[in-house]
Structure 1
């Protein structure tokens, strides 16, 4: 019952009742176990980025070694979340999008920040790194849109169009070897050349090649 301006009591209709607010953390309650493993993937990539920033500020080698190690762990989580989802036969509505967003962080942004931290800091290098991340985002968006079209009668995707974004760990491995041999920063492998008003490190081309392979429309890789 509510009062009106004349002082009379009126009945409040059901449509006028305030909507019930959802409980706190209701979204997290809808997550499946596989989704938390996916979030561990994203957390590993994020921590790797933060450690790269610490390394740039302090040049403590331990930071970059841990940053390297977190990315294979992110890959393990990326593989494990699908295995868990199939084992438990339980998927959440957010699972596919969570997986793509986590992969952007761990296999797109983190490898790019790693390259920047170890010496790819020229404007041309930055353009190559931005291109690489943009290709990774585009590749994942295309996969999400075309997955149904590429699936067989069992709902399994038969092949990848372009290389999967976790192949960027090959770049991480390359930089790990170079870092161990102290061929980074001023001693960066392949050196630098003057290209217009700015210096350019040819090593940044590995990001361009990797990104281009991700968005290739003709490169098809069978999915295991």
Structure 2
């Protein structure tokens, strides 16, 4: 007579949440709010919405920093928390900066290709970190360095766009103007996003503090 196998314990998402995970969700919510603000700017052309979008990305960064500190303080982390963190970062520091840039005037065909490349690099960077974190960790289980620049460094680009908005350098007045290549538009400013994305997927080592 075979012994009946116990039923696997049902996964409860709410019970599995740690305090740090709620801060991670705060990161994601701020990122979505930044997207809404950027899209509202496209409809209203009220520059205040660009400021709102930039402020929400900054708030997302604060939540991102706090969730890691809280996890270390409480010594509680989980695989789900790591996945949540990556997904939230894609929204707040990948998609949101790209959409803010689009709203600010980088809307040519080449601009869109570069912004899509930037987001793809961010996604790839986070995926690489998730699969290599264990091999990069030291004896204490902590990751000693990043490979490639962390995706939250895109806050620098968002700050630059907020400054451009403050100076009235949006749309046709975007810094460095525009270039026509094969009949399609490229705004040279978008190349900063290409550089940022390339640094994310590079193999340069950055110490993690």
Same fold (TM over 0.5): yes
CA distance, structure 1, for counterparts of residue 88 and residue 112 of structure 2? 22
The residue correspondences of 1:63-212 to structure 2 (distance < 5 A) are 63-212=49-198
Higher helix fraction (1 or 2): 2
Q: Is the 8 A contact 2:50 2:162 kept in 1?
A: no
SS in 2 for 1:94: helix
Which string of whole-angstrom CA distances, capped at 9 and with x for unpartnered residues, describes residues 41-83 of structure 1?
Answer: 0000001001110110111222221111011110111010011
In the alignment, is residue 58 of structure 1 matched against residue 49 of structure 2?
A: no
- Size of the aligned set, in residue pairs, is 205
TM-score (norm 2): 0.94
Q: Distance between the aligned counterparts of 1:92 and 1:171, measured in 2?
A: 31
Who wins on radius of gyration, i.e. which is larger?
Answer: 1
Range with greater deviation from structure 2 (122-131 or 27-36): 27-36
Displacement of 1:29 in angstroms is: 2.2
Does the Cα contact within 8 Å between 2:117 and 2:194 map onto a contact in 1? yes
> d(CA) in 2 for partners of 1:95 and 1:22?
18
Q: Is the 8 A contact 2:118 2:197 kept in 1?
A: yes
Q: Distance in 2 between matches of 1:170 and 1:28?
A: 34
Separation in structure 2 between the aligned mates of residue 44 and residue 200 of structure 1, nearest angstrom: 29
User: Map of 1:28-43 to 2, 5 A cutoff?
Assistant: 28-43=14-29
Q: Which has the higher contact order (CA 8 A, sep 6+)?
A: 2
Question: What SS class does the counterpart of residue 160 from structure 1 fall into?
Answer: strand
**Which deviates more, 177-186 or 125-134?**
177-186
Q: Using the TM superposition, give the Cα deviation of residue 145 of structure 1 relative to its aligned residue in structure 2, in angstroms.
A: 0.6
Task: Note the C-alpha offset of 1:21.
Answer: 11
Query: Does the CA-based 8 Å contact 2:47-2:165 persist in structure 1?
Result: no
- Runs of 5+ unmatched residues, structure 1: 1-13
The answer to whether residue 206 in structure 2 is matched with residue 221 in structure 1 is yes
Once the two structures are TM-superposed, the CA of residue 210 in structure 1 deviates from its matched residue by 0.2
8 Å CA contact 1:41, 1:78 repeated in 2: yes
Where in structure 2 are there 5+ consecutive unaligned residues?
none
